[in-house]
Amino acid sequence: MPSRFTKMHGIGNDFVIVDWREDAGRVPDAARIAALAHRHTGIGFDQLISIEPARDPSCAFYYGLWNADGSPAGQCGNGVRCVAAWLYRDGAIERDVPVRLESPSGPVTVRVLGADLVTVDMGEPDFSPTSIPLDRPAHATYTLDVEGDEASFGAVSMGNPHAVLFVDDVTDPRVDRLGPLLTTHAVFREGANVGFAQRLGPGHLRLRVHERGSGWTQACGTGACAAAAVARALGLAGDEVHVDLPGGTLTIAWHGPGHTLWMTGPAAFVFEGEV
């Protein structure tokens, strides 16, 4: 039976959203996802997102996530903004009203500020190696020998694992080489999303992210959150950080331990279709 879908993006990080509210618990085939995600022979997307009835009674809806290679994902900052915008356009949620949504990694609270602007409570950044997970004792920064290159990074979980490296220039060829190697490094038992952050000024970062299961993307919402959180934890940034990604800019606000982190940015509709 043909399935309807909506193509959306959050500053270039693109998604196909499917409405499974009447088909809860469906498990898509990984090979089928990879075929649909192909940029030349499929629809083309970074992740597939399903909208389903909530499992948690405290949440309004559940959303599932799968990477372009068909592997399951725990969270996606740009994706949840698109979910909120989709639900708002569908009439399922209201503007300026906080709504609790359930993801594979736990609940998040969203608030639609306008037709294409959403703010999300991403929870408190978790620096515990057990939570990331990272096979190292807890430290502010970590150092790995990556094929003869010494890589120093901060690590944090934003519902998914992140490593953040501060570099002088995100366009350096070293960045292109290290990204894929760190994403699959054995120290990250579940892989990692690897962000390379360049400081442009107080409260301003330029960021590129190599995502596990998707590769280099135009934007990574949880990656922007991770970069801002690590920067603040290391004393490199304050409570509010503007993060420039290849696809656009996100605003991240975090007041430190004991507080949740908020991400604000756009969500755009591209087209609808049927497969």
- From the candidates 59, 76, 82, 225, which is the catalytic residue? 76
Nearest to 76 by CA among 244, 242, 225: 225
The answer to whether the beta carbons of residues 163 and 194 sit under 8 Å apart is: yes
The residues near 74 (Cβ < 8 Å, ≥ 6 apart) are 65, 103, 104, 105, 159, 160
Nearest to 82 by CA among 128, 137, 15: 15
The answer to whether the beta carbons of residues 252 and 261 sit under 8 Å apart is: yes
- Concatenate the DSSP letters of all residues of 59-95 into one string: SSEEEEEEETTS-EES--HHHHHHHHHHHHHHTSS-T
DSSP H or E stretch at residue 100: strand 99-103
For residues 120 and 264, what is the distance between their CA atoms, to the nearest angstrom? 6
Four-CA torsion 156, 160, 165, 166, nearest 10 degrees = -80
Residue 93 burial (10 A CB sphere; 0-12, 13-18, 19+): buried
Q: Is 220 a catalytic residue?
A: yes
For residues 90 and 37, what is the distance between their CA atoms, to the nearest angstrom? 24
Q: Is 76 a catalytic residue?
A: yes
Catalytic residues: 76, 220
